[in-house]
Each structure stands twice: as structure tokens, then as C-alpha cells.
Amino acid sequence: MSTTKPCTLTDGEDISNGTRRDFLKQTSLLTAIALTPGTVVKAAEDKWDEKFAGVFEKQTLHLEVNGVKHELAVEPRVTLLEVLREHLDLTGTKKGCDRGQCGACTVHVNGIRINSCLSLALTNDGKKITTIEGLAKGEELHPMQEAFINHDGFQCGYCTSGQIMSAVALLKEGHVGSETEIREFMSGNICRCGAYPNIVKAIQEVKGGIV
């Protein structure tokens, strides 16, 4: 699925070409194999995993993410956030609290903003998802992305994709009459660095541009 070049543990040059994420995935996997107790290996040989899968079967999931259609097989307990990050490698959507409180995982489902960490993936079967990766048109950033850069609407950047997804939806919802209203309807997105004043300015700029 991933188009990034795979890296190896022995070749330093390849590691620098791969992503940090690929590196972590591969080293974790090797460690896991080295630490796996014999009983687990035995269970795997006896195909226990397939027997369990018969009861808790993976189900087919159709999603259109940023205009691209996907057909996946996922367990019922997998959330939309996990599908985006782990199955589709769209890691722009962040896992923050994983409890629906911080808003870092905000995406649009059929144009409506939700917390993808509290939405089971299968519930979204057949729906259209937009993530932060889907906002720009090629090299041209979405006006809200431009405004966040212009107004320095972030510091560490971890909450930023969620803030921008929320802000784009907010403009459509129309709750941008005053600074108080913007702050109230952006309250589902927490910024621990405290970039709120600049986030509000960015939203006001885009709102002004639209009017």
C-alpha cells in the first residue's frame, strides 16, 4: 500500500531514505518476533487465529477517502481513525486522547465533522471521508491551511490537522458571527500550546475572504 521505499536495519542509507514510521514498524516487528513465546508460535501454527476469526469475522468495508475508493476487510472493533492511519497510511489525522475529547482525530464524514476515534469503521460503510490530506488541490493549499500558516495558528502542530478540519466545517455550519461564537464552536479542538488567538484570526481571515 505504502509507496515509500522500505528500509533495512543494516543499511544506514536506506533508513534515511525510508520514513521514521516505516523504521519503527519494522524494528517493532523484529522485536516482537524475537520476544514471542513458544506457546504463541504454537497457537499460530495450529491456526487458532483463523478459528477465532470465524466467530469475530472481519467484514467488508467500502470507503471513499479523499476521492479514492477503497475496499477493506476490518474487525468490528476497529475505529475509523485506525483504518485511516494503520490501513490507509493517512497519518495526517492524529490520535490524541482517543476518547473524543481533544479533537485531533477530526475528519469529515459526508461533509460533517466528527471524532474518528469514537466512530467504528464499519458504521461508515459506503460513506465519503475527507481527511487533512484531501483539502489541498495538488500543490495549492486550502485557504484555511494558508490562513493557519499566515497567522501562525500552531506551535507543535499535533492538533493542527484536527483544528483545520474543524475550522473548514465550521465555515460551512455558519457559526462564525463573532469571536465568541467561533471559540464556542471550535471548543471540540484542544490546543495544548495555546495557539487559540491565532487560530481564531485564521478562521476570521478565511471567513472574510468568503464574504
Partner 1 sequence: MNQFQYARPAETAAAIKSLTKEPNGYFLAGGTNLVDMMKMGLVVPDKLVDINRLPLKKIEKTATGVHVGALATNSEVAEHAYIKAQYPLLSLAINAGASPQLRNMATVGGNLMQRTRCPYFFDTAMPCNKRTPGSGCGALEGINRMHALFGASDKCIAVNPSDMNVALAALDATIHVIGAKGPRTIKIGDFHRLPGDHPELDNALQKGE
Interface ranges with partner 1 (CB under 8 A)? 52, 55-56, 59, 75-77, 79, 98-101, 103, 106, 112-115, 118-120, 122-123, 125, 166, 169-170, 173, 175, 185-189
Q: Which is nearer to partner 1, 46 or 125 (CB)?
A: 125
Phi and psi based region of residue 6 (left: phi greater than 0; alpha: psi -120 to 50; beta: remaining)? beta
For residues 43 and 174, give the distance between their C-alpha atoms in angstroms, rounded to a whole number: 55
**Shortest Cβ 174–partner 1 spacing (Å):** 9
- Three cell numbers written together for 105: 482525530
Q: Which among 57, 59, 99, 62 has a CA at the least distance from the CA of 81?
A: 99
What is the nearest approach in angstroms of partner 1 to the Cβ of residue 114? 5
C-alpha cell at 205: 481571515
- Minimum CB distance to partner 1 smaller for 115 or for 198: 115
> Which residue intervals of 133-176 are DSSP H helices?
143-150, 160-173
Q: Least Å distance between CB 33 and partner 1? A: 23
> Distance between alpha carbon 144 and the CA centroid of its chain, in Å?
18
Q: How far is the CB of 202 from partner 1 (least distance, A)?
A: 17
Pick 119 or 145: Cβ nearer partner 1: 119
Nearer to partner 1, 113 or 151 (CB): 113
Angle at 26 between CA 23 and CA 30, to 5 degrees: 135
Strand order in the sheet with 112-115: 68-74, 59-65, 127-130, 106-109, 112-115
Nearer of residues 154 and 185 to partner 1, judged by Cβ: 185
Nearer to partner 1 among residue 88 and residue 167 (C-beta): 167
68 alpha carbon, distance to own chain's centre? 16
Q: How far is the CB of 44 from partner 1 (least distance, A)?
A: 17
Q: How far is the CB of 181 from partner 1 (least distance, A)?
A: 11
199, 188 Cβ separation under 8 angstroms: no
